[in-house]
C-alpha cells in the first residue's frame, strides 16, 4: 500500500451532504464514516450542499447540445470533485419520504453530464439517510436510482439508514455511530485500504 505521506496516491473519497443542518444528525454519521476512511489512509472531501450556491435545474430541453450547464454557480466545482472521486458518499435526511431539496437539486444538475454520457465511476458508493420515523427505504432507493442512472456500470453500493429526530440524537446513539464507523471501514476495504496504516 502507498504510504500516508504521499497524498496523491491515497484514494479520494467525496461526501455530498444534502442536509441544511451543518451540525445535524446526517453530518454526525458522515463525519464518523470519514474519520474511519482517513484512519485507513484515504483523502476525504466533504461537500455540504447548503453551504454552496447550487441553483435549481431549469429543465433545458437541449441539455445534450450544450457544452456545459449555463448556470453560473458552484455546481461546476461540485461536479469536478464528484466525477473524479475514487469513493463517493451521498447523504440526506428524509424529507416527505424522500431526499432533501438540496440533494435533489444536486441530482438534477448532473443532467448535462448524463446527456453527454459522462458517467460516475467511483470504485464504491456509500449511502446515508436519517429519518424521524418513516421514509428510509424510499430515500435510500432514490439515491440508488440516481446512481444507477448516472453510472456506466453496476457499482458496489453500501448503505446506512437510521432514525434520529432531535438535534444531536444520532451522535448520542452509540449503535448508529458504530454502524457509521463500520460503513467507513467497509468503504476503505473496497478501496484497497483494509489495514490501518501508521507513519513509519
d(CA 179, CA 84): 27
Is the residue at 30 inside a domain? yes
pTM, entire model? 0.92
Domain count, the chain: 1
State which residues form the domain around 55: 20-190
CATH code of the domain covering residue 105:
3.40.50.360
Is the residue at 43 inside a domain? yes
Is the residue at 7 inside a domain? no
Per-residue model confidence as pLDDT tens digits over 125-160: 999 999 999 999 999 999 999 999 999 899 999 999
Residue 136 CB coordination number (10 Å): 18
Is the residue at 12 inside a domain? no
Position 166 pLDDT exceeds 70: yes
Is the residue at 55 inside a domain? yes
d(CA 85, CA 43): 10
Is the residue at 11 inside a domain? no
Is the residue at 14 inside a domain? no
Per-residue model confidence as pLDDT tens digits over 11-29: 999 999 999 999 999 999 9
List the single range of 108-112, 181-185, 194-198 with lowest mean pLDDT.
194-198
Amino acid at each position: 500500500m502507498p504510504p500516508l505521506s504521499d497524498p496523491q496516491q491515497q484514494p479520494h473519497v467525496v461526501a455530498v451532504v444534502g442536509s441544511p443542518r451543518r451540525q445535524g444528525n446526517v453530518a454526525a454519521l458522515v463525519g464518523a464514516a470519514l474519520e474511519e476512511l482517513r484512519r485507513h489512509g484515504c483523502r476525504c472531501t466533504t461537500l455540504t450542499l447548503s453551504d454552496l450556491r447550487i441553483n435549481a435545474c431549469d429543465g433545458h430541453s437541449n441539455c445534450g447540445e450544450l457544452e456545459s450547464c449555463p448556470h453560473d454557480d458552484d455546481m461546476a466545482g461540485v461536479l469536478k470533485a464528484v466525477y473524479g472521486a475514487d469513493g463517493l458518499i451521498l447523504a440526506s435526511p428524509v424529507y416527505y419520504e424522500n431526499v432533501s431539496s438540496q440533494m435533489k437539486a444536486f441530482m438534477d444538475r448532473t443532467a448535462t453530464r448524463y446527456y453527454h454520457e459522462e458517467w460516475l465511476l467511483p470504485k464504491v458508493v456509500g449511502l446515508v439517510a436519517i429519518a424521524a420515523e418513516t421514509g428510509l427505504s424510499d430515500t435510500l432507493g432514490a439515491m440508488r436510482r440516481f446512481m444507477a442512472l448516472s453510472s456506466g456500470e453496476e457499482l458496489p453500493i453500501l448503505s446506512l439508514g437510521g432514525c434520529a429526530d432531535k438535534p444531536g440524537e444520532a451522535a448520542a446513539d452509540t449503535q448508529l455511530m458504530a454502524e457509521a464507523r463500520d460503513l467507513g471501514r467497509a468503504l476503505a476495504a473496497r478501496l484497497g485500504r483494509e489495514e490501518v496504516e501508521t507513519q513509519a
